[in-house]
């Protein structure tokens, strides 16, 4: 078995951090941002503040990230999620408000996407372990045995005591497809409490902009070229108080015997989703929503995915294909979002 996982993961993380802010050289006033970054939530998390931040703002922001990680990670002993999974098929587990709110939202998105996004995909994620220390292609019989364990409709919530119950033994709840979005929104709330008005929160490519740039202009945020590991951009978006979350097969993958297997798994087949698309980006004001939708749309595909997006208020999407075409949601076509295609090899399909 041959895997390029670790090398590519480091390169991608560095590229993702470099996309955060593309400041205009003609800014009206000099800005001296301050940044701090730590490895959390399985990725590089970076906070950049453009006001005059107190050291406590960074400390509190990262403390909130750590709190969320400790409650929702599959890899933290005694986390809420670990307790839920250990009690699958046995008993309900009372969890923190954080975890309960994220599970509830995950189930809402699962219903909205008709299972394209499913937080009970954990057994398959663990079997493939793409992005982990022991990536592998599970044998067909193992995949067949795990598929019956996938089913968001078998997660029971009790609003009164904030408990979560997985109805079948060996089910595994995995909030990896939504927790970073929730965390980004929560960090923004923390920074606002310290008087921060202009900042960028980047959680491994989940980018949230607070306000606008100090000179009053929009932030310039790039969408990475899915075929590049060097932080090259296909498009530059102008965002104010918005979030950009991108999902794609280039993020984490396993190369085995000349075949590439990516981390976005089809909950019906148990294998990576087959798609001609190389990335899907969601732009909205809520990173919590954008995180889950980016994965949902990649799994749904263009027609069903765009049909879903076009029913949602203030949510836009951008699809990129292997043949370097760019597809836009209706709102972007109508001018609700300012963008520039910076890679001449790509073309927008109108």
48 and 87 share a domain? Answer: no
Whether the per-residue pLDDT at 30 is higher than 80: the answer is no
Query: What is the spatial distance between Cα 327 and Cα 332, in angstroms, rounded to a whole number?
Result: 10
Whether the per-residue pLDDT at 69 is higher than 60: the answer is yes
Per-residue pLDDT, averaged over 126-150, amounts to 93
* Residue 13's pLDDT band (cuts 50, 70, 90): very low
Which residues are within 8 A (CB) of 74 and not within 5 positions of it... i.e. 6 or more apart?
A: 81, 82, 85, 122, 172, 174, 176
247 and 340 share a domain? Answer: yes
- Measured at the CA of 206, the angle between CA 204 and CA 209, to 5 degrees, comes to 125
Look at residue 230 in the predicted model and tell me its pLDDT.
Answer: 60
Strands 199-203 and 43-49: antiparallel
Look at residue 24 in the predicted model and tell me its pLDDT.
Answer: 39
In a domain, 108, yes or no: yes
Which position has the higher pLDDT, 11 or 318? 318
Taking CA atoms, 168 is separated from 109, 138, 151, 245, 266, in Å, by 21, 22, 10, 32, 20
* Residue 263's pLDDT band (cuts 50, 70, 90): confident
Look at residue 226 in the predicted model and tell me its pLDDT.
Answer: 87
Reduced to 3 DSSP states, what percent helix, strand and coil does the chain have, rounded to the nearest 5? 35, 25, 40
194 and 54 share a domain? Answer: yes
What 3-state DSSP class applies to 312? coil
> Looking at 107, 131, 166, which one is the last position of a domain?
166
Q: What's 22's domain CATH number?
A: 3.10.520.10
Query: What is the spatial distance between Cα 232 and Cα 237, in angstroms, rounded to a whole number?
Result: 14
314 and 334 share a domain? Answer: yes
63 and 139 share a domain? Answer: no
List, in sequence order, every residue forming a beta bridge with 170; answer none if it has no partner. none
Whether the per-residue pLDDT at 102 is higher than 90: the answer is yes
Per-residue pLDDT, averaged over 139-151, amounts to 97
Which position has the higher pLDDT, 100 or 54? 100
Q: Are 201 and 207 in contact (CB under 8 A)?
A: yes
pLDDT in tens, 32-41: 899 999 999 9
Whether the per-residue pLDDT at 250 is higher than 80: the answer is no
In a domain, 173, yes or no: no
91 and 63 share a domain? Answer: no
Query: How many helices and strands, by DSSP H and E, does the chain display?
Result: 10, 17
- Computed over every residue of the chain, the mean pLDDT equals 89
Per-residue pLDDT, averaged over 120-134, amounts to 91
Per-residue pLDDT, averaged over 50-57, amounts to 87
27 and 156 share a domain? Answer: no
Look at residue 130 in the predicted model and tell me its pLDDT.
Answer: 87
In a domain, 113, yes or no: yes
- Domain region containing 81: 76-166
Whether the per-residue pLDDT at 2 is higher than 80: the answer is no
195 and 114 share a domain? Answer: no
* Residue 259's pLDDT band (cuts 50, 70, 90): confident
Whether the per-residue pLDDT at 186 is higher than 80: the answer is yes
* Residue 241's pLDDT band (cuts 50, 70, 90): very high
Strands 347-349 and 325-328: parallel
27 and 152 share a domain? Answer: no
In a domain, 84, yes or no: yes
Q: What's 86's domain CATH number?
A: 1.10.3980.10
111 and 44 share a domain? Answer: no
Q: Are 59 and 46 in contact (CB under 8 A)?
A: no
230 and 344 share a domain? Answer: yes
> Looking at 116, 133, 166, which one is the last position of a domain?
166
DSSP track, 107-160: HHHHHHTTTSS-TT-HHHHHHH-TTSSS-----HHHHHHHGGG--GGGEEEETT
DSSP code of residue 176: T
Look at residue 31 in the predicted model and tell me its pLDDT.
Answer: 52
In a domain, 172, yes or no: no
Taking CA atoms, 119 is separated from 142, 191, 197, 242, in Å, by 20, 29, 33, 25
Taking CA atoms, 293 is separated from 110, 130, 191, 275, 331, in Å, by 10, 20, 25, 16, 16
Per-residue pLDDT, averaged over 313-327, amounts to 95
pLDDT in tens, 198-228: 999 999 889 999 999 999 999 999 999 988 7
> Looking at 131, 166, 201, which one is the last position of a domain?
166
The proportion of the chain whose per-residue pLDDT surpasses 70, expressed as a percent, equals 90
241 and 268 share a domain? Answer: yes
Count of domains for the chain: 2
Query: What is the spatial distance between Cα 121 and Cα 141, in angstroms, rounded to a whole number?
Result: 17
Give 240's Cβ-side CA count (13 Å radius): 10
């Amino acid at each position: 078995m041959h895997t390029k996982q670790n090398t590519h993961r480091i390169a991608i993380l560095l590229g993702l951090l470099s996309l955060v802010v593309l400041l205009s050289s003609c800014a009206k006033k000099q800005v001296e941002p301050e940044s701090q970054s730590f490895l959390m939530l399985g990725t590089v998390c970076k906070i950049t503040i453009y006001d005059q931040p107190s050291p406590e703002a960074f400390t509190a922001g990262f403390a909130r990230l750590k709190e969320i990680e400790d409650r929702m990670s599959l890899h933290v002993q005694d986390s809420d999620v670990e307790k839920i999974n250990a009690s699958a098929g046995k008993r309900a587990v009372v969890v923190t408000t954080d975890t309960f709110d994220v599970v509830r939202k995950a189930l809402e998105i699962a219903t909205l996407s008709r299972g394209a996004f499913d937080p009970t995909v954990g057994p398959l994620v663990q079997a493939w372990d793409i992005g982990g220390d022991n990536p592998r292609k599970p044998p067909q019989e193992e995949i067949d045995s795990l598929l019956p364990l996938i089913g968001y409709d078998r997660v029971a919530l009790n609003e009164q005591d904030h408990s979560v119950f997985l109805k079948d033994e060996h089910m595994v709840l995995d909030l990896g497809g939504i927790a970073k979005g929730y965390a980004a929104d929560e960090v923004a709330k923390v920074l606002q409490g310290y008087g921060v008005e202009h900042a960028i929160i980047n959680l491994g490519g989940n980018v949230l902009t607070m306000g606008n740039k100090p000179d009053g202009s929009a932030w310039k945020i790039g969408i990475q070229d899915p075929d590049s590991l060097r932080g090259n951009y296909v498009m530059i978006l102008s965002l104010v108080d918005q979030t950009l979350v991108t999902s794609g097969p280039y993020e984490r993958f396993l190369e085995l015997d000349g075949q590439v297997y990516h981390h976005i798994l089809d909950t019906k087949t148990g294998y990576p989703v087959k798609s001609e698309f190389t990335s899907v980006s969601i732009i909205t004001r809520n990173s919590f929503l954008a995180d889950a939708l980016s994965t949902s749309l990649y799994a749904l595909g263009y027609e069903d995915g765009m049909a879903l997006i076009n029913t949602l208020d203030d949510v836009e999407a951008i699809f990129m294909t292997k043949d370097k075409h760019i597809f836009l949601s209706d709102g972007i076509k109508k001018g609700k979002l300012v963008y520039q295609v910076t890679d001449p090899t790509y073309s927008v399909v109108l």
